[in-house]
Amino acid sequence: MSRRFDDTLFPIPAGPADLTPAWLTAALAAGGAINQAAVTTFAVETPGGDGGLYGQTVRLRLLYDADEAGAPRSLIAKFSAATPELRARASDSYAREIHFYRALAPHTTLPTPVCYYADSDPATHRHVILLQDLAPARSGSRLEGCTRAQAALAVRHIAAFHAAWWEHPLLSAMEWLPDPDFGQNPERRQAEYDGWWPRFLQNIGDTPLPDPIREMGERFGPQRARIEQHLFNAPPRTLLHGDFHLGNLVFATAEGGAPFAVLDWQMLRRGRAVRDVAYFLSENLLPADRQAIEMELLADYHRLLVEAGVCGYTFRDCLADYRLSLLQRFRALVSTIAVMPFSASERQMHVDVLLPRNIAAILDWDADFSDLN
């Protein structure tokens, strides 16, 4: 997909301000997107969407010194976070996404944008990825939620992806995709959670927390390792997108564009398949919409797994894992809200939108720790 630059001549840019026409020409040539044309100038735009905590994303409009068939006139450029602290925290995530685009994307049936170039510098924790611009298709909005048709489309595509990688022999060969041992030192994981909980309560302020949820949150620590060990390390496993939300999903618009595509593979991991589905359905639909279509979509999801050849995983297993996944997402929201340096809009999204939706789903499903038994 690309060759590595000599870092003394072509260092990985820290962000859009570091880009030059010469750098873009060399990167696009390295990835095979251009052969003879050279970038003469470019404009930087901020694309729509929810954005992300761990990176910078821009759209580039390119002009060349000559016409060349297939040369991208616009592309999406992804960079590491602007601050060294966040770059270091997310360095493994950057590496996962680069590995996905280089090694897996060409062989998956899940629609993804073409990757023109991807590279990283472990010393600085910087990374850069140049991707196909899928406009006029655009990402969904977690704030607004999605339609029933969009939800069904997303579930159908992720079911096919999960089925294709279900207990695949290559899963164990992906040395670049480590499995944290959640069962190791559970006391440390409990202590970590117990440190997050009071900061979470402080950071949500006056946001209502129903008594059953507060009680569950207070006793979650001893169960954290068991839930995450089950969802991410216990068979049957597949590849998970890991961050399957509307901001990372692209849908066609009235103007056209790709019918569907999946972006942002920084959270790629192995695990129980339905965790992706639980994250998507519980936090990316308005609660009333989720309640109306959730069970139907889950039944369709399981049926698609079976039709694709998945055996030995019953619908009852699927629903038990779904309930545990809702709890795991609550834990993830607790830690994120406790420690992340949010902007005002990011706080609104997590505290006022995602957390209440997750809580509503937990209460609707009466999810608790009993599914671990």
Report the DSSP pairing between strands 126-132 and 138-139.
Answer: unpaired
If DSSP states are collapsed to H, E and C, what string results for the chain? CCCCCCCCCCCCCCCHHHCCHHHHHHHHHHCCCCCCCCEEEEEEECCCCCCCCCEEEEEEEEEECCCCCCCCCEEEEEEECCCHHHHHHCHHHHHHHHHHHHHHHHHCCCCCCCEEEEEEECCCCEEEEEEECCCCCEECCCCCCCCHHHHHHHHHHHHHHHHHCCCCHHHHHCCCCCCCCCCCCHHHHHHHHHHHHHHHHHHHCCCCCCHHHHHHHHCCHHHHHHHHHHHHHCCCCEEECCCCCHHHEEEEECCEEEEEEECCCCCCEEECCHHHHHHHHHHHCCHHHHHHHHHHHHHHHHHHHHHCCCCCCCHHHHHHHHHHHHHHHHHHHHHHHHHCCCCHHHHHHHHHHHHHHHHHHHHHHCCCHHHHC
Q: 215, 242, 238: which is closest to 328 by C-alpha?
A: 242
- pLDDT band, residue 88 (cuts 50/70/90): low
Side chain identity at 300, as an amino acid letter?
Answer: D
Question: Mean of the per-residue pLDDT values for the chain?
Answer: 91
Q: How confident is the model at residue 3 (pLDDT cuts 50, 70, 90)?
A: very low
Superfamily for the 141-372 domain: Aminoglycoside phosphotransferase (APH), C-terminal lobe (3.90.1200.10)
The predicted structure's pLDDT at residue 37: 96
User: What integer is the mean pLDDT of 276-285?
Assistant: 97
Give the pLDDT confidence score for residue 101 in this predicted structure: 93
- Using CB atoms within 10 A of its CB, is residue 69 exposed (0-12), middle (13-18) or buried (19+)? exposed
Distance of CA 172 to the CA centre of its chain: 21
Dmax of the chain from CA atoms? 66
Determine whether domain 16-132 maps to CATH 3.30.2310.
Answer: no
Global pTM? 0.91
Pick the closest to residue 76 from 253, 328, 248 (CA basis): 248
Task: Domain ranges for the chain, please list them.
Answer: 16-132, 141-372
Res 366: pLDDT:
96
Question: Is pLDDT of 10 > 70?
Answer: no
The model's pLDDT over 211-267, given as tens digits with 9 standing for 90+, comes to 999 999 999 999 999 999 999 999 999 999 999 999 999 999 999 988 999 999 999
Question: Is the pLDDT confidence value at 5 over 90?
Answer: no
> Side chain identity at 4, as an amino acid letter?
R
- At 7 the pLDDT is 40
pLDDT at 1: 36
Label the pairing between strands 238-240 and 249-253.
unpaired
